[in-house]
RNA sequence: GCGCCCGUAGCUCAGUGGAUAGAGCAGCUGCCUUCUAAGCAGUGGGUCGCAGGUUCGAGUCCUGCCGGGCGCGCCA
């Protein structure tokens, strides 16, 4: 019996109490089931009676008693106690608990998937770094978090498209092109230009691809460096992301918005909604009507649109492509953008609470490791992969809440010790894989899971493990809804610990010439179920689940 | 000055209004002739930044203050 099954049973019990006239209330849509911190409080607990006390006009404990009476009749429920202010503490019978293993094994790689977000068409944009330099640590965080979030949303049945907004127009690009051109001609890079080894490397590649470029007139040559420099730079970015295991469904070019006239269309839409005025030669949007602290220019006095006018056109484009929810992950250094963007959306007559969501992530820095001499923040994605590897790099980035600024300790994440959380989790998976290999090599036949006596999984360590395994789908759903992939990492650490304690306490394979114990087969299936959940969870984070370490 | 985020064990951090606030690491004490000791058990460690408020109940919600991070362009 899964927590979801139990929640349904609790609601059924409430319905029963209503039908018998014990309670006079509307049956709620859902029941919250949680694992009590202390096992003295049963396998599961629900606070539903506390929540229903007010509408029922009865003391919480009375409501609890009425529900408990009904719930005790439910198959698989061994005991129901009313405790404290009105909690229902529920104990399942052994067979109902053990049956979870069969549920997990049968679901396999889809265990943890739900339909919680079915029907939602979500566009998830992240990274979107300008092609003027290599990805650095902050981008890496959004790459890891965004990719994990996409996997979570998909696991919750949302229709997700991941997108990278390729900012290939604007003054930053002009500066980048000018820097490339300067370097190629052996000149000093302008003060406001881009510096670094990669600029020289890209310039060199462009010259190699276009041998005559330096003989061309200045404007033409600059255009070659602009177009092909961006292309090269973007190639570098994509190949880094590729190595990191992050692939986007759509790479969207800002240029297309300009080329297809989408910017002008968007300005006209805004104008039609009556929030546009002209002043000092520029076109303004009256965003103060929508809570912004000042009005914003959307078309500069020289006729060029501002960057967030393009961003709004991009938003419109996404909406036109049928997405009902636009999610954009941004770093805290861009959070001032949020009220503006919301105001712009309202200027279009849409409700940003329904269509636009901008999770803000706090900053990331790094210390330690031989790369730290490169002054912390300029650590690139490639540097990180070289320093700690893909798995540790991704895990380090998703392990903490986006709301927390993090400081990555490269020495710790590079270490192959128990200090390193990703190894703790991966080790649990490898340990199980090894155990299952040994069982196979000893020719132990697990048979079919349906034939295993899973009710034998009744010791404290076994039921702890079962309980934790049962939580997984709820954790995935919560992580998806709250856009909080770090919850998966924390869960996996908890599950790993629970497994290690089970492993330490419960011998599985026979030693020497011992007989196969009656617990062996059910426990092997419990191990397999645990391995599946660890693999599924790591998969949601884009981290590998090794069979050997 | 205004806005967003953070403040929880020595350190790094979890904690979707519920019961005695948790984990990992670090410290100390134990556990490997047989399934991976990259593990486990035990132990110490807390004014949940401070002060009010909301309620059956607040680390969690509200207000104010203190400390830290990040923003506040016709830059992106």
3-class secondary structure per residue, A503-541: HHHCCCCCCCCCCCCCCHHHHHHHHHHHHHHHHHHHHHH
Give residue-wise pLDDT tens across range A378-424. Answer: 688 998 999 899 999 999 999 999 999 888 888 888 887 777 899 99
Global confidence as pTM: 0.94
**Strand B contact with A95 (CB < 7 A):** no
Residue A376 has a pLDDT of 37
Q: What Å value separates CA A327 and C1' B52?
A: 38
What share of chain A has pLDDT > 70, as a percent?
98
What are the phi and psi torsion angles at A377 (to 5°)? -65, -20
Nucleotide at minimal C1' distance from the A84 CA: B19
Give residue-wise pLDDT tens across range A269-325. Answer: 999 988 899 998 999 998 888 877 788 899 999 988 998 899 999 999 999 999 999
Give residue-wise pLDDT tens across range A479-520. Answer: 999 999 999 999 999 999 999 999 999 999 998 888 889 999
Residue A532 has a pLDDT of 97
Question: Cα–Cα distance between A346 and A352 in angstroms, integer?
Answer: 7
Give residue-wise pLDDT tens across range A89-113. Answer: 999 999 999 999 999 999 999 999 9
What is the average pLDDT score of chain A?
91
Please tell me the total number of residues recorded for chain A in this structure.
549
Q: Which residues of chain A (226-265) touch nucleic strand B at CB < 7 A?
A: none
Provide Rg for chain A, Cα atoms.
29
Q: Which residues pair with A282 in a beta bridge?
A: A279
Query: At residue A36, does pLDDT exceed 70?
Result: yes
**Strand B contact with A500 (CB < 7 A):** yes
Winning range, highest mean pLDDT, from A75-84, A117-126, A377-386, A404-413: A117-126
Q: Which residues of chain A (134-163) touch nucleic strand B at CB < 7 A?
A: none
Query: At residue A472, does pLDDT exceed 70?
Result: yes
In contact, A240 and A172? CB cutoff 8 Å: no
**Strand B contact with A367 (CB < 7 A):** no
Q: Mean pLDDT throughout A51-73?
A: 90
Q: What Å value separates CA A43 and C1' B31?
A: 30
Helix/strand/coil for A422: helix
Residue A368 has a pLDDT of 67
**Strand B contact with A440 (CB < 7 A):** no
Q: What Å value separates CA A371 and C1' B68?
A: 26
Nearest to A456 by CA among A5, A182, A101: A101
In contact, A440 and A507? CB cutoff 8 Å: no
Helix/strand/coil for A352: helix
What is the DSSP-derived secondary structure letter of residue A25?
Answer: S
Residue A374 has a pLDDT of 40
Nearest to A125 by CA among A146, A148, A145: A146
In contact, A17 and A23? CB cutoff 8 Å: yes
**Strand B contact with A502 (CB < 7 A):** no
In contact, A330 and A358? CB cutoff 8 Å: yes
Residue entry with tokens 């018998």: A20
Q: Mean pLDDT throughout A34-50?
A: 87
Strand B bases contacted by the protein (CB, 7 Å): 2-7, 12-16, 18-26, 34-41, 56, 68-76
**Strand B contact with A360 (CB < 7 A):** yes
Nucleotide at minimal C1' distance from the A362 CA: B5
Question: Cα–Cα distance between A71 and A147 in angstroms, integer?
Answer: 42
Give the other-Cβ count within 10 Å of A262's Cβ: 18
Residue A53 has a pLDDT of 87
Question: Cα–Cα distance between A529 and A108 in angstroms, integer?
Answer: 8
In contact, A89 and A41? CB cutoff 8 Å: yes
Nucleotide at minimal C1' distance from the A299 CA: B74
Nucleotide at minimal C1' distance from the A32 CA: B16
Query: At residue A371, does pLDDT exceed 50?
Result: no
Q: What Å value separates CA A427 and C1' B29?
A: 26
**Strand B contact with A351 (CB < 7 A):** no
Q: Mean pLDDT throughout A52-77?
A: 91
Nucleotide at minimal C1' distance from the A461 CA: B40
Question: Cα–Cα distance between A22 and A59 in angstroms, integer?
Answer: 13
Query: At residue A375, does pLDDT exceed 70?
Result: no
The secondary structure of A394-415 as a DSSP string is HHHHHSS-TTS-EEEEHHHHH-
Q: Which helix (H) or strand (E) holds A159?
A: strand A159-166
Question: Cα–Cα distance between A538 and A423 in angstroms, integer?
Answer: 12
In contact, A435 and A508? CB cutoff 8 Å: yes
Outline where A373-514 has alpha helix (H).
381-388, 390-398, 410-414, 421-441, 460-481, 486-505
Helix/strand/coil for A440: helix
Question: Cα–Cα distance between A299 and A533 in angstroms, integer?
Answer: 52
Q: What Å value separates CA A46 and C1' B16?
A: 15
Residue A84 has a pLDDT of 84
Question: Cα–Cα distance between A256 and A234 in angstroms, integer?
Answer: 16
Residue A339 has a pLDDT of 87
Q: What Å value separates CA A290 and C1' B3?
A: 15
More confident residue, A326 or A373: A326
Please give the C-alpha separations between residue A230 and each of A140, A165, A199, in angstroms, as whole numbers: 20, 14, 11
pLDDT band of A373, cuts 50, 70, 90: very low
Q: Which residues of chain A (314-333) touch nucleic strand B at CB < 7 A?
A: 332-333
What are the phi and psi torsion angles at A327 (to 5°)? -115, 130
pLDDT band of A365, cuts 50, 70, 90: confident
Question: Cα–Cα distance between A376 and A366 in angstroms, integer?
Answer: 5
Nucleotide at minimal C1' distance from the A254 CA: B76
Q: What Å value separates CA A112 and C1' B36?
A: 27
The secondary structure of A43-90 as a DSSP string is SEEE-HHHHHHHHHTS-HHHHHHHHHHHHTTSTTEEEEEEETTTEEEE
Half-sphere exposure of A337 (CA within 13 A, CB side): 19
State CA A90 to chain mean position distance: 32
Please give the C-alpha separations between residue A344 and each of A161, A164, A326, in angstroms, as whole numbers: 23, 21, 14
Q: How would you label A475-488 residue by residue, b for 16+ Cβ within 10 Å and e otherwise?
A: bbbbbbeebbbbbb
Residue A377 has a pLDDT of 44
Helix/strand/coil for A30: coil
State CA A309 to chain mean position distance: 29
Residue A171 has a pLDDT of 85
| Dihedral sign (CA A378, A383, A387, A392) | positive
Residue A369 has a pLDDT of 60
């Amino acid at each position: 019996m899964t927590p979801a099954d139990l929640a349904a049973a609790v609601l059924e019990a409430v319905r029963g109490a209503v039908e018998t006239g014990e309670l006079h209330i509307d049956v709620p849509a859902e029941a919250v089931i949680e694992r009590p911190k202390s096992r003295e409080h049963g396998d599961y607990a629900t606070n539903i009676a506390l929540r229903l006390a007010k509408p029922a006009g009865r003391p919480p404990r009375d409501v609890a008693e009425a529900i408990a009476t009904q719930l005790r009749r439910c198959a698989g429920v061994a005991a129901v106690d009313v405790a404290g202010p009105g909690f229902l503490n529920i104990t399942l019978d052994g067979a109902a608990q053990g049956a979870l293993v069969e549920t997990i094994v049968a679901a396999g790689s889809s265990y943890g998937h739900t339909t919680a977000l079915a029907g939602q068409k979500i566009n998830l944009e992240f990274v979107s770094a300008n092609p003027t330099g290599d990805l650095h640590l902050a981008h890496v965080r959004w790459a890891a978090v965004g990719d994990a979030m996409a996997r979570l949303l998909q696991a919750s049945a949302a229709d997700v498209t991941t997108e990278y907004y390729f900012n290939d127009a604007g003054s930053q690009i002009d500066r980048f092109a000018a820097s490339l051109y300067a370097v190629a001609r052996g000149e000093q890079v302008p003060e406001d230009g881009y510096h670094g080894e990669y600029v020289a490397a890209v310039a060199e590649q462009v010259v190699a691809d276009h041998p005559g470029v330096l003989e061309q007139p200045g404007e033409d040559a600059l255009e070659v460096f602009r177009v092909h420099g961006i292309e090269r730079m973007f190639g570098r970015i994509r190949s880094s992301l590729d190595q990191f295991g992050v692939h986007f469904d759509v790479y969207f070019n800002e240029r297309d918005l300009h080329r297809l006239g989408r910017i002008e269309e968007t300005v006209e839409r805004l104008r039609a909604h009556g929030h546009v005025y002209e002043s000092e030669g520029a076109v303004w949007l009256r965003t103060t009507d929508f809570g912004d602290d000042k009005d914003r220019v959307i078309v500069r006095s020289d006729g060029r649109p501002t960057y967030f006018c393009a961003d709004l056109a991009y938003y419109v484009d996404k909406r036109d492509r049928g997405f009902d929810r636009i999610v954009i992950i941004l770093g805290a250094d861009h959070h001032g953008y949020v009220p503006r963007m919301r105001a712009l959306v309202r200027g279009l007559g849409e409700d940003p609470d329904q269509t636009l969501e901008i999770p803000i992530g706090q900053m990331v820095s790094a210390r330690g490791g031989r790369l730290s001499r490169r002054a912390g923040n300029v650590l690139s994605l490639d540097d990180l992969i070289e320093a700690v590897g893909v798995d540790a790099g991704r895990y380090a980035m998703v392990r903490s809440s986006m709301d927390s600024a993090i400081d990555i300790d490269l020495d710790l994440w590079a270490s192959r010790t128990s200090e390193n959380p990703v190894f703790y989790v991966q080790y649990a998976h490898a340990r199980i894989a090894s155990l299952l290999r040994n069982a196979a090599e000893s020719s132990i036949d697990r048979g079919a899971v349906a034939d295993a006596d899973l009710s034998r999984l009744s010791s404290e360590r076994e039921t702890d493990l079962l309980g934790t395994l049962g939580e997984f789908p709820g954790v995935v759903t919560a992580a998806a809804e709250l856009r909080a992939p770090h919850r998966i990492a924390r869960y996996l650490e908890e599950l790993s610990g629970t497994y290690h304690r089970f492993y330490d306490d419960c011998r599985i394979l026979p030693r020497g010439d011992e007989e196969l114990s009656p617990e062996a087969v059910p426990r092997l299936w419990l191990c397999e179920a645990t391995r599946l959940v660890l693999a599924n969870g790591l998969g949601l984070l884009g981290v590998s689940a090794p069979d050997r370490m």
